[in-house]
Structure 1
Amino acid sequence: MTLVDSGTGSRTRNQFFLQEGELPLFHVFQSLSTSENINIAIDVTRSYCLKAEADANQRVGMEFLYAYGFLDDLEQLIEKNLESDNPVNRQWGQLYKIIHLRRKRKLKTGEYLSLLNKLEADSVEIESLHMFLRVYAHFERKEFGRLSGYLDGLLENIHKIGDPMLRELFSVRMDEMLLTFHWKRNEMIIARKHGYRILQTTHCPRKKIDIHNTMALGYLFDSYHQAMEHALEAKRLANMTEDLTAIQGINNYTIPFIAAFHGRTAGISTPVESEAAHLALARGDIPTCISILSSFESLTPFQQYYLGKATSDLEMLEISYRRFISERSDHFFAKLPLLEMNKLNAVH
């Protein structure tokens, strides 16, 4: 199929919808990506997903809309699949309804796992989605070490998936999981490989924001400049797409956290009390740091690290370290109290 040179998204869109029969989603997106502005390619493919009549396009379209953050459109396509004459489409619709509700934060971890347990997984595509959801549940519960039990099965399943669009989108999901998994194991060379691969392959701004934010934190111990470059790029993309949740997260947590760790706090502030305590600590205002954290009913491992560092309390730092490992399988951020313990031990 050849595209008529239109230069506009609407005319390009018509070229696809006037075709006899229905092209596979992957063919549409690939053709547009090479001949049009990528934003036009995404927008046309988004429309194509919603107008698709072919069962396969209706199924794969749900993953495309999910991956690119078109959640209102996804809701429409889910309903279309749930009403389909094809039992496979109805099955996919049920699963993506759970995926959609989780993404919209309308289901807690235990709730969507309970719903998931009632659904069969009788194809490599459905089984892969079940496994992704179970991994996300472990991540939400800070059980970062649990990915290894799913790794071989997911890699094998993705390799078997016939649809190239679905295989590509699932591969990006896989890279996101592996980035987090290796980051939390403090295997940063491998983690960054997956992070940079996502940045090179995805066209989704939301994913790029998340990855740049993760990469910023992942450079914490290595380079202030590289950490802050990723944080500022995440912020630029979040501002461009008006992603208020991301903007707040980057401004209130990521940037102050990196700045405080490196003692580069000029002009940095945050309304988040625990991170304000971290900034106070970095500025040498120990009383403010202790005052803020002492008012908390309970402390996270991060907050125990801040307070332990402020009070030179080796026991508290060790508790923080052990909690990072035992509660979160987080060997990366466990380095925070460990480095401080080593400094204090060197002095004594």
Structure 2
Amino acid sequence: MRLSANILLEKKEQTWEQFQERVRLECDIETETQMMRRFFLQTSSIDVQKKGLEFLYMNGFYDDLQLLIKINQQSDYTSNRNWARIYQILLDTKSGQYSPEELLQQLEQLHTQETEVLCLKEFAKINIYYNRNQYNEFGNFLNTIEQLFLMIDDYFLLDYFKLRISQIYFVYSLMKNELIIARKYGYKVLTLTKSPSIQVDAHIKLGLSYTFDSYSQGIYHLEQALKIAKKHHLTEKIYLIEQRNIPFLSAKFKKVENISTNDISEQAHIEIAKGNDEKAVELLEDVSLDTPFRLYYMGKAKGDRNLLIRAYKEFIHERGDYFFSRLPLDELRKIYI
């Protein structure tokens, strides 16, 4: 570790590649990540300062990312300031500080001919639409990104961009109900990243991809996600898995013994699985039916075809979600048969 610390103190400017290759020779993965984290905050290289934003973002070091954004915002170079603007938008997308419309407007106001920044703009747009559950918008952005990839020659940066695009194809294929392709991308994401946050997200989506197929395979991935989240103290992920994902999958397969949740929607789902439809209706009457999942739960509990049709249409037309649209569709088939 003393040798690694000495590398950080060297006065000679080092590229991202040079520093990472030297650290890899002497450090385990976790130490390497922490050394890289410090390197990007301490470097005087203009090029490394902006590209370090991608490393910090993709590894979930958001506090450090905000510090590096400020460094780039104060740069004399337009390129660095543009990179800072993009990553600030990415952070603001996660925090929900601005509306999707405001974020998209900020992106449109960022003018550049720099290929990497153009690529990051497309990734940022996808993030915004992902948060809006509008998956049908992904296709056009993916075509643009793949064309831009051909003009990027930074090997390390391109590795992270390829990870991003694999994540996007994973979600896009899943929402298109192309499960074999989706799972292939899911496992690819797991092999491409050491980021606990990304690993957790991949396991969650892999687990949910078995909603209509296999409880045992689905719950395996959710338990893997929970194990990683707990190890790395990812409290928001732990809550999501314990309160929503596991209850959802368990209720879908009617494996609800010892399953509980604070989430009212999933409480209703559990009651439906137990055959307590009236209790489920009571729970759902206390919340707004503002998602297709809640419409589906209420429609299933009441045996209401109109609610199920509304849920199906919202999944398809508002979200472009052909995977979870199978929930109300399967229930409608039972009613009509």
Give the count of matched residue pairs.
337
Separation (CA, whole Å) in 1 of partners of 2:304 and 2:231: 44
Question: 5+ unaligned residues in a row in structure 2: which ranges?
Answer: none
The amino acid of 1:155's aligned partner reads: E
Per-residue CA deviations over 1:66-97 (Å, capped at 9, x if unaligned) read 11111111112112112223222222222222
**Distance across 1 between alignment mates of 2:278 and 2:85:** 54
The equivalent residue for 1:278 is 269
- 1:238 paired to 2:215: no
Whole-Å separation in 1 of the counterparts to 2:24 and 2:177:
36
Alignment of 1:1-348 (within 5 A): 8=1, 11-19=2-10, 21-33=12-24, 35-346=26-337
Query: Equivalents in 2 of 1:72, 1:40: separation in Å?
Result: 18
Q: Give unpaired runs (5+ residues) of structure 1.
A: 1-7
Aligned residues with identical type, % of pairs? 31
Residue 19 of structure 1 deviates from its aligned partner by 4.5
In structure 2, do the counterparts of structure 1 residues 312 and 104 end up closer, same or farther at CA, with 3 Å as the change threshold? closer
Aligned mates of 1:80, 1:66 — CA distance in 2: 15
Question: What is the CA–CA distance in structure 2 between the aligned matches of 1:31 and 1:264, rounded to whole Å?
Answer: 50
Question: SS at the partner of 2:150?
Answer: helix
Kept in 1, the 8 Å contact 2:89–2:124? The answer is no
Q: Is the 8 A contact 2:93 2:127 kept in 1?
A: no
Greater displacement, 264-273 / 135-144: 135-144
Does the CA-based 8 Å contact 1:121-1:130 persist in structure 2? no
**In the alignment, residue 93 of structure 1 is paired with which amino acid?**
A
Q: Which runs of 4+ in 1 moved over 4 A?
A: none
Q: Deviations over 1:165-219 (max 9, x none)?
A: 2111111111111111111111111111111111011011111111111111111
In 1, distance between residues paired with 2:288 and 2:158? 47
Secondary structure at 1:160 match in 2: coil
TM-score when normalising by structure 1: 0.92
The 2-side partners of 1:331 and 1:193 are apart by 18
Q: Name the CA distance, whole Å, in 1 between partners of 2:252 and 2:301.
A: 13
Measured in 1, the distance between the counterparts of 2:153 and 2:292 equals: 44
Check the 8 A contact 1:209/1:238 in 2, yes or no: yes
Distance 2:175 2:136 in 1: 8
Paired amino acid for 2:108: N
